[in-house]
Structure 1
């Protein structure tokens, strides 16, 4: 049948099972929006307050479901406003298709009104991108974009469509999407045998889990693997929930703000089994001293990550779920009770601590965990609150902790929270933000109230840029250069002005009642929590130091 390019786009979205997109209209995408209007009962469109909010919402939708998130923006500034969200998704391997409009083909390259080379701009931060100038190629391009976004190591794909293509007509025939197969052709039998032998020879194995295990949905296989190897488990920021934080063998996060136990255990182990992690600098500290006494076995779907940051002794390339299944078949039951007991003793000796006499970020997070019984999706911005959320909430399932790990995007969490709640309407979804982060994209509260999306926004309001101030305190002799937010902004009034219910908490005794009421109301809620300016995230590894040089506040005083 003959359809316009805009109608072809909508039909292709329906082919791919897209039920929700996040976007903001403009001149170059008017035809697309007209087509969406006619199909609003089939595809829900969420109008965000800013295009960046749309990209983060699509990201949160994707991370919480494993499906491809979709965002839409007009040409020029509309497209460039998506870039930070696209880069965020790229760094954390999030499947996303970003659709942008552009000027008509005759106007390309002529500095036309609201023209920008968005394909060129996003080339370094997309898995692939396209510009469509021929309506006959639109459908196949969109189908390929979705396939690329979700295949292997996922990532964002940009499809830029000129306005004349959205108006032109072409023949459209529905196509059922092909099943996306997991990457298995790179899994070699000899690699599996070598891995099993390395595990057999180890007396102090340590399992290190990254975001790849979440993306691959390998929790069941990972649990079996941990049981067979009989080893303690640590994780990255992105790996939270792949292995339950409630399991006694779980030692917490590794790296700059990882637990003392994880950092010391990785330093002491004789085999580090790395599953879907890329050895970020925030994890390894001083590369030359990282797990220096251990052999390193790395499992990852992306061959580019092997030996990129840390030289491995052996590696297996392939889908994490499938690799673990096949490795598990080759393993016998191991027993490392003495090693595990040593690690458990360290857990008891070096627990995470905070001041329990006053209102603090960790206290609030523990209360959220207690009240929700851990059955919630937590999104965060970036900074101290993000680290506290990683440390003090025990993630029991994958896809329940959504945060900007690789890019560290302040302003990410609120949009992601909206996207996650839209995708998971029956879940409690909470965004945790510092006051510095919240003010970056707090206009998305208006999006939540417009559609009555019942998110809970907690602001850890310490009136400073907390993480930067922490570094200034420890490494810059307390020179607080432009990190004090001593203005008159009232988040309660702002939230109320945007239509949300708002609370201000100043003491511990208020936390439980407010949280319970916020959950019960089932409407958009903002909670402004006044905490101290000099609260810090402990423990910490100084930049450039080895991870076993991790120190706490008590160590610093000594």
Structure 2
């Protein structure tokens, strides 16, 4: 049998060292799927329950492997389903290649079944590179450019291949007019360093500062050691954007934790009081959590000049690789002798963790969600990968989870879409089948996407050398983050019709799939439940019934926000009394005297 375009595509994916393709089948990609079958499923076809989940899994795979993720979808509805996951990749700067089927070339423009204008559909999300392949000779260059562009720009790219072309005989590009060849797969990314004059200007600012703050994002992940060294030399405290939560461990005394509405009090104080700011690899969008304008002199490091100087007025912008740039900057920095700022930062951090311990120890009805994460932090494996979803559970991930060296963690940081944590976990397990993975998921996100992807976990669990994949469900029967936003921002009481969720037996569903499961409705059971799940020889679901009225209090809770919550209570919030009592208990822990130091 002659080699088809589908056969060549699969061959080229192997040459790009693609190991998994996350997908859901459909007749618009039959020529590719049958080629995979002829290739003995190499790369592996990983069947998600929905194309959106396939895209999320590809994003999770790319985030945790450092490689390009690949997803595959059929024409029309399959292609449309990819969009949310691809936008997650675009906004979080993650390299993903989407391969999409299209109706036969002979039917294009004829309002044929499942024909959608894919060029228009993907032109924004795949703005860095989007191409429709219409002849076999076009494929090598198009596919290779999709991979190289995704890797170089840290973004999703899309390749559209009509169904009839997939089954056509492959012929390579010729040495001829208007034929475009390609080179062997592979790419080498640059590690640029800014000019010496710019480095000197940045050093002058950092050396002059008395109260230096550093904000790191995911772009600083490869420069963790250099960030530590800069912090030690300058006496800085280090705050972390949510996407940079795993850049530095939380047991370093000068790491203040997450920044923003879901952030910590020490990070808020760090930004409020600093006179100098160094931003490394972060596009954290919320300016109101940065220093006041004209308060701090600022330097920013980012590899992409399009995203530099956007969030705070910076004096010096260093366009370059974070590790290479910090390595070049370090010899120009002078060791700070006045340690009063660092001492203040470390005292604030120590007091914060004491506050978190007290808040996690508070009683709730039935389980305090902060206790869930606090108990996990005590026993989380050193090489664990943690995924988090969007919702009130994100607060506890951001504030209560203590990351240590060697761990990885991520979430939908910019799109903040609901539902990626479980498919992220699937991608993480294929990226690192030898490492334990833990997903922290609200019950809203679990009902939206997570339950279906438990089926995927059950299907592929035997492929993972370390079978541990723990899905922790914060079960409170409430779309809790939005409930609190309505209370805090609009002074609106909880609207049961929009906010209440149907009660689901998540543990029972997991057991029906052959997974382990533990139901927890007593905080005294939490430690043992985590021990059971983290020592299991099977993926497990923790179904933890949490109190929805434990408030995710912002680190700088304003009078207006407190007033809005009070107004919500006065307007007849159905949980009024419990809400006030729980909120008061939680907030008061910030004012309990800490240990003397």
TM-score over 0.5 (shorter chain): yes
Contact 2:383 2:406 in 1 (8 A): no
Matches within 5 A, 1:406-555: 406-441=414-449, 442-452=451-461, 454=467, 455-481=469-495, 482-541=497-556, 554=587
State the alpha-carbon separation in 2 of the partners of residues 402 and 468 from structure 1: 21
Q: Equivalent residue of 1:170, what SS?
A: coil
- Distance (whole Å) between structure 2 residues aligned to residue 381 and residue 555 of structure 1: 28
Cα drift, residue 373 of structure 1: 4.2
Q: Distance in 1 between matches of 2:501 and 2:36?
A: 45
Give CA deviations for 1:200-259 in whole Å, capped at 9, x if unaligned. 111111111012112xx2222222322332311111000112122111110111111211
Structure 1 stretch displaced more, 230-239 or 306-315: 306-315
**Structure 1 Cα separation of the partners of residues 489 and 544 of structure 2:** 27
Q: Name 2:144's counterpart in structure 1.
A: 143
| Map of 2:376 onto structure 1 | 368
Larger displacement relative to structure 2 (356-365 or 71-80): 356-365
Q: How far off is 1:45 after superposition?
A: 1.5
Summarize deviations over 1:145-187 as a string: whole Å, max 9, x none.
1111111x411111111112212223359953343222417x2
- Could you say if the C-alpha distance between residues 111 and 508 of structure 1 is closer, same or farther in structure 2, counting changes exceeding 3 Å? same
Does residue 247 of the first structure (1) align with residue 249 of the second (2)? no
Distance 1:21 1:405 in 2: 24
DSSP-derived class of the 2:243 partner: coil
Note the C-alpha offset of 1:360.
1.9
Relative to 1, partners in 2 of residues 1:114 and 1:399: Cα closer, same or farther, differing over 3 Å?
A: farther
The 1:508–1:42 alpha-carbon spacing in structure 2 relative to 1, beyond 3 Å, is same
TM-fit CA distance, 1:487: 2.5
Larger Rg over CA atoms: 2
Q: TM-score, normalised by structure 1?
A: 0.92
Aligned residue number for residue 317 of structure 1? 319
Q: Distance in 1 between matches of 2:282 and 2:117?
A: 33
1:118-267 equivalence runs, <5 A: 118-126=118-126, 127-151=128-152, 153-172=153-172, 175-184=183-192, 187-214=194-221, 217-267=222-272
State the Cα distance separating 1:398 from its structure 2 match.
7.1
Q: Could you tell me which residue of structure 1 aligns to residue 569 of structure 2?
A: none
1:285: which partner in 2?
288
Q: Is the 8 A contact 1:286 1:544 kept in 2?
A: no
Question: Which blocks of at least 5 consecutive residues in structure 1 are unaligned?
Answer: none
| SS at structure 1 position matched to 2:247 | coil
Equivalent residue of 1:290, what SS?
Answer: coil
Structure 2: gaps of 5 or more residues: 174-181, 562-582, 592-597
Deviation per residue, 1:406-457 (Å, 9 max, x gap): 0011011110001101111121101111111110112011111111264211
Task: Tell me how far apart the structure 1 counterparts of residues 484 and 589 of structure 2 sit (CA, whole Å).
Answer: 13
Alpha-carbon spacing, 1:59–1:99, altered in 2? closer, same or farther (3 Å) = same
TM-score of the superposed pair, with normalisation by structure 2: 0.86
1:83 equivalent to 2:83? Answer yes
Task: Say whether the 8 Å CA contact 1:207–1:232 is kept in structure 2.
Answer: yes
Q: Secondary structure at the match of 1:335?
A: coil
Aligned length in residues? 547
* More RCO (CA 8 Å, sep 6+): 1
